[in-house]
Amino acid sequence: MDRVEFRTCPERYRHWRLKVDGAVATLVMDVDEGGGLVPGYELKLNSYDLGVDIELYDAVQRLRFEHPEVRAVVLTGGKDKIFCAGANIRMLAASPHPWKVNFCKFTNETRNGMEDASAHSGQVYLAALNGTASGGGYELALACEHIMLVDDRSSVVSLPELPLLGVLPGTGGLTRVVDKRGVRRDLADVFATRPEGVGAAKAAAWGLVDEAVPRPRWEQTVAERAAELAESVTRADEGTHGIELTPLAKERTDTRITYRHVSALLDADQGTAEITVAGPEAPPNTASGPLFDADFWTLAVTRELDDLILDLRTNEPELGIWVLRTRGEAAHVLAHDALLLEHSDGWAAREIVLYLKRTLKRLDVTSRSIITLIEPGSCFAGSLFELVLAADRSFQLAGASEDFPDAEPAAVALGPMNSGPLPMGNGLTRLAARFHRDPAAFAAAEQAAGTALDAADAERLGLVTFAPDDIDWAEEVRLALEERAGFSPDALTGLEANHRFAGPETLETKIFGRLSAWQNWIFTRPNAAGPDGALRRFGTGRRADFDRKRV
């Protein structure tokens, strides 16, 4: 199949309509049956595939940046009787394992992003279920702050994946039902094993939705609730202009992806993507006040990284190692960081930092080994030092190097961006997670903030893994990459998923760790995905043939 492209814009949406009316936006899901991303299935009953979710992600992002006036987003359906039937089953049944896993990861991230908007951005999501929401349709609602279900004796919420398909809800459903909404575990068990679902009154009583609303009062009540939510938060001053997310310039071949600040060299033989991030060319221009537009370096580079991560994850599954480099001036990076934090009570700077936070979180749950190479001429400082902290291991070249004749020895620097604004999904900063059982080392690292740290300093402080000198550098890095490329890709995924999340767990890490790991296991089992499994037998009129052994 063709490469999947994640860049889109409202003018090109086939499945969603975005309407903005003052402080309230309405996002209408109205899936084009014939608009599947891959041939072979029809998107009936407002079911979705990756293409539908790519549009949703774009809409969520544009609402945050282009619509500072919007404080409540009503998510509703454009069909009769059905809000959304969830992920398309024929698409799932026909998809190879890596596709299913990657699809679920992306949809999870989008839903987490909606929760992030409600929690941190003053843009609160309201699910207005004007018909049945089943499976992923109900999970989409679960990502909203408030769920309303029309009470009409036919509309239900349901999670029919287990009884009908032999798999789990793939987008955080089980976790959000018991952990976020606090539905009692035995009722959750009943709910997730009842394919016919639960109607409005009982759904409200069990805590599956917040409100059951009779059909005659539906539109008025939704409007009232949206207005209330919009009133409950603050966002930008009236009349504030949004930041237009102008089209992202990208060149893409089989071996290279190039944006303005970010580029990647794809090496199929080596199994690597060598990614280079360019720092800002100058300090931010504040002559006439800060200018947070789409060209502002932090926003531009974050958009590029975000697109690159999604592209590589989906289109280059055999590039198992991402090698990250930077080049530029650390001081310019830190100046951009400082300006953003100085203006963090304003919506625009806040949005940019929150977006960077979400993009870095994508790295944490990416099933690729991440190696940072800190060379002379690099600018791993502040926000860009998060790339080192997100890496599975890092190498900093000690001293001068013949390969970089004009550059000073490599240095790194911590800054305020490393101490709070960019937490991982587990709620800790990457620095705190790194030293979560070693408060002395954590304090020493924080004290070194603002100082340029050469390789010996950074190694001593535990901020980098290895600090080889010029003589050993090339050989040591080459061996590390070769060795890693020889390991089992699956085992590396499991290893990294465990090592990256030391410390506390949250709703988010439980979804990516516990829930997704079980789902991935089930996705490989013959009971679900085998020729006689439930996922493949669905709709054939034949029951699945299960191996009855409990594992």
Nearer to its own copies, 223 or 517 (CB): 517
CA count, 13 A, side-chain hemisphere, 200: 20
In the complex, least distance from residue 312 CB atom to its own copies, rounded to whole angstroms = 10
> Considering the complex, what minimum distance in angstroms separates the CB of residue 80 from its own copies?
31
Instruction: Quote the least distance from Cβ 444 to its own copies, whole Å.
Output: 13
By the 8 A CB rule, do 251 and 258 touch? yes
Closer of 186 and 345 to its own copies (Cβ): 186
Binding of residue 551 to its own copies (CB under 8 A):
yes
Residue 366 DSSP code: -
Query: How many chain residues bind its own copies (CB under 8 A)?
Result: 89
Least distance from C-beta 398 to its own copies, angstroms? 17
What is the footprint of its own copies within residues 492-511 (CB under 8 A)?
492-505, 510
Nearer to its own copies, 52 or 534 (CB): 534
Per CB under 8 A, 394 contacts its own copies: yes
Two structure tokens written together for 263: 């580029």
Contact 497, 517 (CB under 8 A): yes
**Does residue 435 touch its own copies according to CB under 8 A?**
yes
Shorter beta-carbon distance to its own copies: residue 73 or 522: 522
Site for its own copies in 324-363 (CB under 8 A): none
Among 102, 123, 272, 302, binds its own copies (CB under 8 A): 102
Which residue number, 189 or 329, has a Cβ lying nearer to its own copies?
Answer: 189
Q: Which long-range contacts (CB under 8 A, 24 or more apart) does 338-345 make?
A: 338/415, 338/416, 339/284, 339/286, 339/290, 340/298, 341/416, 341/417, 341/421, 343/290, 343/292, 344/421
Nearest of 327, 341, 451 to residue 387 by alpha carbon: 327
Looking at the Cβ atoms of 280 and 425, the one nearer to its own copies is 425
One residue of 2, 186, 251, 254 binding its own copies per CB under 8 A: 186
Sequence-distant (6+) residues with CB within 8 A of 39 are: none
Handedness of CA 364, 365, 366, 370 (dihedral sign): positive
Considering only the stretches 6-14, 127-135, 324-332, 519-527, report the one whose residues sit in contact with its own copies under the rule CB under 8 A: 519-527
Facing residues of 28 across strands? 17, 76
Name the residue nearer to its own copies (CB basis): 247 or 494. 494
Determine, following the binding rule CB under 8 A, whether residue 254 of this chain makes contact with its own copies: no
Strand ranges of the sheet holding 262-267, from the earlier edge strand across to the other edge: 251-252, 256-258, 262-267, 272-278, 321-327, 369-374, 393-396
Task: Report the nearest approach of its own copies to the CB of residue 366 (Å).
Answer: 9
Write out the binding residues for its own copies, residues 154-183 only, by CB under 8 A. Answer: 161-163, 166-168, 174-175, 178-179, 181-182
Cβ proximity to its own copies: between 290 and 317 the closer is 317
Report the candidate in 61, 62, 38, 60 with the shortest Cα–Cα distance to residue 48. 38
Asked whether 388 and 412 are in contact (CB, 8 A), the reply is yes
Single out the residue of 193, 220, 286, 447 in contact with its own copies (rule: CB under 8 A).
193
Min CB(316)–its own copies separation in Å: 9
Instruction: Return the residue of 392, 396, 409, 412 that touches its own copies, per CB under 8 A.
Output: 392
Query: Is the Cβ of residue 325 or residue 510 nearer to its own copies in the bound state?
Result: 510
The answer to the question of residue 534 lying near its own copies (CB under 8 A) is: yes
Q: Does residue 532 belong to the site contacting its own copies (CB under 8 A)?
A: no
Contact flag: residue 453 with its own copies (CB under 8 A): no
CA pair distance 36, 33, nearest whole angstrom: 7
Q: How many residues does the chain have?
A: 551
- Cβ neighbours of 517 (radius 10 Å): 14
Residues numbered 9 to 68 that lie near its own copies (CB under 8 A) are none
Q: What span, in angstroms and rounded, lies between the C-alpha atoms of 201 and 151?
A: 7
Q: Is 465 in the site for its own copies (CB under 8 A)?
A: yes
- In order, the DSSP letters of 2-38 are PPP-----GGG-SSEEEEEETTEEEEEE---TT--SS
Per-residue b/e over 431-447, b at no fewer than 16 CB within 10 Å? bbbbbeeeeeebeebbe
Q: State yes or no: residue 518 binds its own copies (CB under 8 A).
A: yes
Q: CB-wise, 321 or 379, nearer to its own copies?
A: 321
Residue in 487, 8, 69, 424 with CA at minimum distance from that of residue 237: 69
| Rounded CA separation 32/430 (Å) | 41
Q: Binders of its own copies among 269-298, rule CB under 8 A? A: 271
Alpha carbon separation from 72 to 67, 187, 268, 425, 468 (Å, rounded): 11, 30, 45, 24, 52
250 binds its own copies (CB under 8 A): no
Out of 50, 92, 101, 142, name the contact with its own copies by CB under 8 A. Answer: 101
